[in-house]
Amino acid sequence: MVKGKPWPGGTIRYYNAAADQAWPVARAVYVWNHSGARIRFVPSSRASAQLVIKHFSHNRCVGHARATVGYVRQATVELPRIDESSQLCNSYSSAHAVAHELGHVLGLGHEERGCALMNGRGTWSGAQHCRQEAVWTWRCGLLEPDDINGVVALYGGRTSSTSRGSCSAYTPIRPPLSLSAERRAGGIVGLRFERPDSPPMPLFLAALTRSDGGWAIAHAANACPTDFAGAKRYAWTVGIGEQMTIADRLSQPGRYCYSLWSTDPLGRPSDRPATAWVTL
């Protein structure tokens, strides 16, 4: 939804006075500059800046930011300070907030009729009316088609965003280590594997963990299962780097593959399973 006057020539010289916001500002500027619209945010000295990005005068972490709308003299964006342990003020959430406020600077108002960065509310994983991503992902593309279409309507150009839609906020956990399977008497299969370490994750996500993670198992005849959703899930009963030994009973002779996934404290599975074959 267009609310403000477009900037003459589509170029906006900006100065970032909020040093802790350097990465969120850089990410937000990048996605707008690569949106396909004929606009350009260009860093400059404070003396020659048309837009100054700064902190709120208070030091509180708040779940909002503020900006002037459209072309004005002495345009501003005001942001809270970064707090990486906060759900509201971490760098990922701030990148979303900065991109949203730059949309206001370009002349966009709030859009509540569908999915858009310019929805009145949002988090690191996307805007209020967009499909919500898994908690461990963030909406790294930031812009939605509605946002780009609105700016193209103001400045010309075409929709041509090169940024990815969603990205992982941290490296996934590894699958169980050193998996082996052996045939035992009576249709029993013995499985051995080691528990991997959990990956480091952003502080604001680590604060959401409610378990110690676990593992999941599936087996099939003549093929290795690849669908984590169909696997049986269990909690770890050993420490990191320690070996687990379990037994499984198979009712029919044949060649079987076992697939085992690890899950981290947020419930995110390893990208792939560890696999082991056994013949009864």
**Per-residue model confidence as pLDDT tens digits over 31-73:** 999 999 999 999 999 999 999 999 999 988 998 999 999 999 9
**How many whole angstroms separate alpha carbon 256 and alpha carbon 226?**
14
Q: What pLDDT does 133 receive?
A: 86
**How many whole angstroms separate alpha carbon 106 and alpha carbon 109?**
9
Spell out the CATH class of 8-168: alpha beta
The pTM is what? 0.89
For the segment 215-234, the average pLDDT, to the nearest whole number, is: 97
In this structure, of 119-123, 131-135, 139-143, the range with the lowest mean pLDDT score is 131-135
**How many whole angstroms separate alpha carbon 17 and alpha carbon 225?**
53
State the average pLDDT for the chain.
Answer: 95
pLDDT of 163 above 70: no
- Quick one: what percent of the chain has pLDDT higher than 70? 98
User: Which residue carries 């990005």 as its tokens?
Assistant: 53
For the segment 186-193, the average pLDDT, to the nearest whole number, is: 95
Q: Residue 159 — very low, low, confident or very high, per pLDDT cuts 50/70/90?
A: confident
Q: What pLDDT does 28 receive?
A: 97
CATH architecture of 177-279: Sandwich (2.60)
Closest among 11, 1, 13 to 117, alpha carbons compared: 1
pLDDT of 162 above 60: no
Q: What pLDDT does 161 receive?
A: 54
Q: What pLDDT does 158 receive?
A: 86
The amino acid at residue 131 is: R
**How many whole angstroms separate alpha carbon 193 and alpha carbon 138?**
32
> Distances in Å between the alpha carbon of 125 and those of 50, 78, 88, 157, 187?
30, 22, 12, 28, 47
- Quick one: what percent of the chain has pLDDT higher than 90? 89
Domain boundaries, the chain: 8-168, 177-279
Collapse the DSSP code of 100 into the 3-class scheme (helix H, G, I; strand E, B; otherwise coil) and give the result: helix
